[in-house]
Structure 1
Amino acid sequence: MPAPTESKLTDAWNAARHGNGGWPKFLSGIRIAGLRGWDAELVEFRYPVVAIAGVNGAGKSTVLKAAAAAYRAPENGAAATYYPDDFFPKTPWEEVAGVSLIYDIRLGDQSRTITVRKPSSRWRGAPERVERATYFLDISRIQPANTQIGYGRTAQEVISRGTSEPLSADQVAQLSRTLGRKYEYARIERGAGKQVGVLSQNGVEYSNFHQGAGEDSILDLIALISAIPDYSLVVIDEVEASLHPQAQRVLITEFLDLAHRKRLQIIFSTHSPFVLEQLPSVARMFIAVDRDSKRKVLYGVSSDFALNLMDNERHEELDIYCEDHQAEYLIERILAVGAADKPDLLQRLRITPVGPASTVISLATIAAADKLPRKSVCVVDAEQSPGDNYMVLPGTQAPERELLEAFTDAEWTAVAERLGRYAGDVLDAKDAAMQIPNHHAWIGEIARLIGGTMRKSKVWEAVADVWVRDILGDEQAKKWCEPIVAAVPAHDP
């Protein structure tokens, strides 16, 4: 479920986008060629806060560093100008040449293309970059201060030559919410080009020489992002590093709020499903790498799908990818009926919702070329047009319409029995719910009208069970399951 601050950001983004009151400075996309295996693939940023997921080596850090080098810093400001050579230097082991970074930059209602390239020995095009405050935080930010050589001397230098910058009450509240602990105050001590974070909890003051890595990194992060200019670009590598799941969720909640209030653009990498769950689908991106090291950028992926491809501890023999949890349960029930003579089938596969039909179809192209880690079948909802590389759920309409509009009072009575409610109450609830134009809301409205402890998922499961048994039937279920049964690898005799 997205974070509670997501709706305000989404509303503002949909209403203003790049116009007045929106995000007049925005990095819309990067095309990367000739760098660390990238072959002119386009990476688009479709929302003010974007998470990039993928396995190690997929190219997430390359995208982040390329994004950080998109702009030059304003002359009067604290932001630094990053150059491609800062991130992609020539070394004794790497010859960086034949590289191009093509940026799609939004400036209000104008769109500009800026190309920074390195044909041979020198980067070209950097002076033409647009001015924008940019902040890049790499993974080194989580290194605890007490692991750094000479940290005691650093503390003395900061105390003797430094200045103290207390965090505001709002910033301290953000810190407390993120880490789930009550802090009385916090400040940053700066001096000699170094900084030390100081916290107070339960009347005890301690610096980041004695803080955990999570406290240290979040203190610095909140102090930075809360103070940066509006319309800035913030790029963060492994945003969840050193944070427990609750802190990860709250941090993303704060990010969405800051992006809304300050019109920030925040791009970060992550391996965490807890982070991905807090974001709307438009904010989630997955970089898939096939067995030939070719990359494909998938947009709108679910956290389940991202975790599925990033998790090596898998024993299933077939992946089934579908649009959402309603389709997931419906597929499971069709398989239970249509492949009843193969009782181990459901144990040998995994059904994973991945996002909208466009994402499923993109994934089907990769699966058809046998480029995914495991054999895979992709299934879209029934209102989608048939295709060569994917299956379509039974019927011709969206699942909610296909199932509910097929039911007579007899089927609704069977649903009521499964739910343990009076048939009349269920019939009244479905009559009212199906007056709503948005069919996606029907099941939730039925659950609400039935009342009590009734859950949306429970209603959908009862409806799917009855539809598969009484409407679809054994023969149609068996026929629909045939491609999936055939796709499961045969056991050795």
Structure 2
Amino acid sequence: MEVQGFRAVDSLRLDFNSPITAFSGLNGTGKSTLAQLSACAYRKPTTAAVRRYYVKDFFPVSAADPGPFTTDAKIACAYEVQGAALEPQKVTVIRASKEWSGYKRQPERACYALGFTQFIPQVERRDFSIYGGHLITLGAARDLDEPVSEIIVGILSLPYEKLGFIEVTHSARTAELATATRSGRSYSENHMGFGEGRVVYIVTAMETAPAQSLFILEEPETSLHGDAQERLGRYLVDVAARRGHQILMTTHSAAILGQLSTDSIAYLRRRPVDGQVEVTPGLATYQVDAYLRGDRAPGSRALCTEDSFARQFVTAIMRKCDRDMIAGIRFVEAGGHDQVRQSVRILQEGGLKAVGITDGDCNDIGQHGVQSLPGGQPPEKVVFNDDAVLRHFANKHSLDVRAHLAGVGDHHKYAETLARRLGLDAAVVATFAWDAYVTARPASDFDSLLHFIRSELA
């Protein structure tokens, strides 16, 4: 799907790589915009009693909001249609004059947009079933099938004996209320909690909808405690596979994201240079959680190195090849190669994800979560004897590195020695050196090291 000219999202291409796509990110990055536009991507099937969504349903033009989109706004979608040719079916919906056009060429599919109004406690809606409660009449009741009830019981961990719906009427108004029996007492949704009611309605919709429907969920974790969020996440994976649904949702829940594959997570953020929204697919849950928590995130994964110089090397590689790898990692300077191995073991025994990176002369090959840096020597010798680094200091700082380090026997003091000559901190000199070293090499040189770190911390 390509989106252009909408609030929060001016220009963005989104590829769907999984039956479930979870949009996550800070507030105001366009999660709801993308989800809502996705709901408008299909025509209503002639055989299904479902609602058909239009762009105007989510982006109304009014005196208060005369321009929620630009004059050249569009939504271009490519569909893998069963039984069609190899090329995807492509349809673009654009704003023509005062109306949107292109809907008629869309394929048919049952779509369900389950936002926050999917369940709002009736007492907050001033519903007639409460404020005219003494005047309503009850109609036909229907019990949920046992497998559906068992799913709801499993998510909420509540011992329901029966779940269903009942018709209620007052004057010319008719509605349907969810009902439950628990511990021998029966009650309607008028006495359900917000999270409880939402799960009942969401699960019922997903289990009774036509197979291969599209579901749009707005923060399904709302009002659910952590364990229930995890169980709901597992259910969404199950129902997508079992019934062939495609599920798009907005969420800030690490508990739900933790149940999904990285192909299912689309992290949205604004570029600092131009303010445009970009999508980063494939982040691990701990990385998304670190971004959402900002500076308060302590890091749920640990990466141990011998010292600060080795840590700077690893982070320089990450900045060049995959800047998102840094998010959610707590860096530990252990003090030596034996201490790195011991730190990893202790952290892993404590139930944490941890990985160790020893210096290149240690010959660790990935066993027990520890691998050595490339180069076969201490990292200080590798970097400060590298031609790209030597040229950098000669050109940028008029400094002959080999001459100044010729009499330094301890490689741990290389950066400190050069720092004194340049009037800089040793950490700054080390950063200059590693950046020059990493920049001069293709990213493929570091594939093995980064793959090891990713696999250990996944």
TM-score range, shorter chain: 0.5 to 0.7
Write the mapping of 1:227-246 to structure 2, written as runs, cut at 5 A: 227-246=208-227
**One of 280, 290, 295 as aligned partner of 1:308:** 290
Could you say which residue in structure 2 is the equivalent of 1:104? 78
Could you say which residue in structure 2 is the equivalent of 1:372? none
Could you say which residue in structure 2 is the equivalent of 1:138? 115
Displacement after TM superposition at 1:336 (Å): 7.4
Find runs of 4+ consecutive structure 1 residues off by over 3 angstroms. 153-160, 190-193, 312-316, 336-339, 377-381, 389-393, 413-421, 453-468, 470-487
**Residues in 1 aligned to 2:113 and 2:324: alpha-carbon distance in whole angstroms:** 43
Indicate if the aligned counterparts of 2:309 and 2:430 stay in contact, CA closer than 8 A. Answer: no
Classify the secondary structure of the residue corresponding to 2:160.
coil
Indicate if the aligned counterparts of 1:36 and 1:59 stay in contact, CA closer than 8 A. Answer: yes
Classify the secondary structure of the residue corresponding to 2:123.
helix
- For the pair 1:472 / 2:378, whether they are aligned, the reply is yes
Q: Which amino acid aligns with 1:40?
A: S
Tell me how large the CA RMSD over aligned residues is. 3.9
Q: Structure 1's 338 and 312: CA in aligned 2 closer, same or farther, altered over 3 A? A: closer
Indicate if the aligned counterparts of 1:155 and 1:196 stay in contact, CA closer than 8 A. Answer: no
Displacement after TM superposition at 1:73 (Å): 1.1
**Residues in 2 aligned to 1:222 and 1:155: alpha-carbon distance in whole angstroms:** 27
Indicate if the aligned counterparts of 1:158 and 1:196 stay in contact, CA closer than 8 A. Answer: no
Q: Which amino acid aligns with 1:77?
A: A
Q: Structure 1's 461 and 89: CA in aligned 2 closer, same or farther, altered over 3 A? A: same
TM-score w.r.t. the length of structure 1 is: 0.63
Q: Structure 1's 188 and 315: CA in aligned 2 closer, same or farther, altered over 3 A? A: closer
Unaligned runs of 5+ in 2: 327-336, 359-363, 384-411, 416-425, 434-458
Q: Structure 1's 414 and 260: CA in aligned 2 closer, same or farther, altered over 3 A? A: same
Write the mapping of 1:244-393 to structure 2, written as runs, cut at 5 A: 244-291=225-272, 292-312=274-294, 314=296, 325=301, 329-330=303-304, 332-335=305-308, 379-380=317-318
Aligned pair count reads: 358
Q: Structure 1's 157 and 71: CA in aligned 2 closer, same or farther, altered over 3 A? A: farther
Indicate if the aligned counterparts of 1:99 and 1:118 stay in contact, CA closer than 8 A. Answer: yes
**One of 143, 153, 163 as aligned partner of 1:186:** 163
Indicate if the aligned counterparts of 1:379 and 1:391 stay in contact, CA closer than 8 A. Answer: no
Displacement after TM superposition at 1:334 (Å): 4.3
**One of 212, 217, 230 as aligned partner of 2:193:** 212
Displacement after TM superposition at 1:118 (Å): 0.8
Q: Structure 1's 200 and 415: CA in aligned 2 closer, same or farther, altered over 3 A? A: same
TM-score w.r.t. the length of structure 2 is: 0.68
Q: Structure 1's 175 and 486: CA in aligned 2 closer, same or farther, altered over 3 A? A: farther
Could you say which residue in structure 2 is the equivalent of 1:374? none
Write the mapping of 1:411-422 to structure 2, written as runs, cut at 5 A: none
Could you say which residue in structure 1 is the equivalent of 2:90? 113
Could you say which residue in structure 2 is the equivalent of 1:127? 104
Indicate if the aligned counterparts of 1:179 and 1:215 stay in contact, CA closer than 8 A. Answer: yes
Q: Which amino acid aligns with 1:249?
A: E
Q: Structure 1's 42 and 157: CA in aligned 2 closer, same or farther, altered over 3 A? A: farther
**Residues in 1 aligned to 2:10 and 2:180: alpha-carbon distance in whole angstroms:** 46
**Residues in 1 aligned to 2:234 and 2:159: alpha-carbon distance in whole angstroms:** 18
Unaligned runs of 5+ in 1: 1-29, 340-350, 352-376, 394-410, 422-446, 448-452, 488-493
Indicate if the aligned counterparts of 2:306 and 2:340 stay in contact, CA closer than 8 A. Answer: no
Q: Structure 1's 89 and 454: CA in aligned 2 closer, same or farther, altered over 3 A? A: closer
Q: Structure 1's 244 and 457: CA in aligned 2 closer, same or farther, altered over 3 A? A: closer
Q: Which amino acid aligns with 1:205?
A: S
Write the mapping of 1:54-203 to structure 2, written as runs, cut at 5 A: 54-96=25-67, 97-108=71-82, 109-149=86-126, 150-153=128-131, 159-160=137-138, 162-191=139-168, 192=173, 194-203=175-184
Q: Structure 1's 458 and 94: CA in aligned 2 closer, same or farther, altered over 3 A? A: closer
Q: Structure 1's 31 and 390: CA in aligned 2 closer, same or farther, altered over 3 A? A: closer
Displacement after TM superposition at 1:165 (Å): 2.4
Structure ID, larger Rg: 2
Classify the secondary structure of the residue corresponding to 1:259.
helix
Displacement after TM superposition at 1:378 (Å): 6.3
Q: Structure 1's 111 and 122: CA in aligned 2 closer, same or farther, altered over 3 A? A: same
Indicate if the aligned counterparts of 2:283 and 2:324 stay in contact, CA closer than 8 A. Answer: no
Give CA deviations for 1:126-151 in whole Å, capped at 9, x if unaligned: 12221111111112224222212134
Classify the secondary structure of the residue corresponding to 1:278.
coil
**Residues in 1 aligned to 2:92 and 2:44: alpha-carbon distance in whole angstroms:** 17
Taking every aligned residue pair, what percent have the same amino acid on both sides?
A: 22
Displacement after TM superposition at 1:40 (Å): 2.8
Which moves more between the two structures, 146-155 or 95-104? 146-155
Classify the secondary structure of the residue corresponding to 1:181.
coil
Give CA deviations for 1:103-139 in whole Å, capped at 9, x if unaligned: 1111024511111111431111112221111111112
Indicate if the aligned counterparts of 1:158 and 1:195 stay in contact, CA closer than 8 A. Answer: no
Could you say which residue in structure 1 is the equivalent of 2:448? none
